[in-house]
Chain A
Amino acid sequence: MNLKIIEKAQIAQFVESIPAKKIAPVKEDGLITFREISSAEEIFWDFLNTRKSPKEFLFPQSERLFRYQRTDHGFEIGLDEIEAEKKALIGLHPCDIKSFLILDKLFDNERYQDNYYIEKRKNTLIIGLACNHPLNTCFCTSVDGGPFSSEGADILLTDLGDRYLMQIVSEKGKEFGSKFKDAQKSDIAEMENRKKQAISSIKTNINLNGLYKKLEEIFEEKIWETLSEKCLNCGACTYVCPTCHCFDIQDEIKADKGIRIRNWDSCMFNLFTKHGSGHNPRTKGFQRMRQRIMHKFSYYIRNFGVTACVGCGRCILNCPVNMDIRGVLNTLIKY
Chain B
Amino acid sequence: MENIEKSIREEVRKLLGDKSVDVIIGYEMGIIPLRSAPSFIYKIEDTDKLVWNSFCENNLARFTRNREDKIGVIAKGCDSRSLMVLLKEKQIKRENLKIIGVPCRGMIDRHRIEREFSLEGKEILETIEMGEEIILKGLGFERAIKKADYLFISCRLCRHRNPVIYDLLCGEMVAEREEIEDPLLRSFEAMSPDERWAYFLKEISRCIRCYACRDACPNCYCPECFVDATQPQWFGTSQNISDLQMYHIVRAFHQAGRCVDCGACSRACPMGINLRLLLQKLNLDVKNLFDYEAGLNLEEPAPLQAYKIDDSNEFFK
Given contacts A47-B121, A250-B236, contact A236 B210 (CB under 8 A): yes
A23 CB to closest chain B CB (Å) equals 17
Tell me if B89 is interfacial: C-beta within 8 Å of chain A.
no
Q: How many A-B residue pairs have CB under 8 A?
A: 120
- Which of the segments B31-39, B80-88, B183-191 contacts the partner chain? B31-39
Residues of A41-57 whose CB lies within 8 A of B: 44, 46-49, 51-52
Main secondary structure of the interface of B (DSSP, over half): loop
Residues of A128-173 whose CB lies within 8 A of B: 133, 135-137
B27 CB to closest chain A CB (Å) equals 10
A30 touches B272 (CB 8 A): yes
Tell me if B212 is interfacial: C-beta within 8 Å of chain A.
yes
Given contacts A238-B210, A322-B32, contact A232 B215 (CB under 8 A): yes
In-complex Cβ contact of B32 among A52, A136, A261, A271 (8 A) = A136
Tell me if B216 is interfacial: C-beta within 8 Å of chain A.
yes
A31 touches B236 (CB 8 A): no
**Nearest residue, chain B, Cβ from A46:** B121
A230 touches B119 (CB 8 A): no
How far apart sit A263 and B19, CA to CA, in the bound complex (Å)? 48
Given contacts A136-B123, A234-B214, contact A271 B118 (CB under 8 A): no
In-complex Cβ contact of A239 among B31, B118, B123, B210 (8 A) = B210
Chain A residues with Cβ below 8 Å from B240 are 62
How far apart sit A239 and B212, CA to CA, in the bound complex (Å)? 11
Chain B residues with Cβ below 8 Å from A32 are 118-119
Tell me if A202 is interfacial: C-beta within 8 Å of chain B.
no
How far apart sit A239 and B210, CA to CA, in the bound complex (Å)? 7
How far apart sit A47 and B114, CA to CA, in the bound complex (Å)? 13
Tell me if B297 is interfacial: C-beta within 8 Å of chain A.
no
In-complex Cβ contact of A30 among B32, B38, B115, B215 (8 A) = B115
Tell me if A327 is interfacial: C-beta within 8 Å of chain B.
yes
Chain B residues with Cβ below 8 Å from A70 are none
B32 touches A316 (CB 8 A): yes
How far apart sit A327 and B32, CA to CA, in the bound complex (Å)? 12
B228 CB to closest chain A CB (Å) equals 5
B237 touches A29 (CB 8 A): no
A235 touches B211 (CB 8 A): yes
**Nearest residue, chain B, Cβ from A265:** B237
A136 touches B125 (CB 8 A): yes
- The 0/1 profile, CB within 8 Å of A marked 1, for residues 15-42 of chain B is 0000000000000001110011111100
Tell me if A8 is interfacial: C-beta within 8 Å of chain B.
no
**Nearest residue, chain B, Cβ from A27:** B119
In-complex Cβ contact of A236 among B36, B206, B212, B236 (8 A) = B212
A129 CB to closest chain B CB (Å) equals 12
Tell me if A317 is interfacial: C-beta within 8 Å of chain B.
yes
A320 touches B123 (CB 8 A): no
**Nearest residue, chain A, Cβ from B120:** A46
Additional A-B contacts beyond A234-B214, A322-B31 (4; CB < 8 A):
A61-B208, A136-B32, A232-B216, A271-B228
Task: Mark A residues whose CB is within 8 Å of B.
Answer: 27, 29-32, 44, 46-49, 51-52, 61-62, 133, 135-137, 229-230, 232-236, 238-240, 248, 250, 252, 261, 263-266, 269-271, 274, 316-318, 320-324, 327
Task: Mark B residues whose CB is within 8 Å of A.
Answer: 30-32, 35-40, 58, 62-63, 115, 118-119, 121-123, 125, 139, 206, 208-212, 214-216, 228, 230, 236-240, 267-268, 270-272
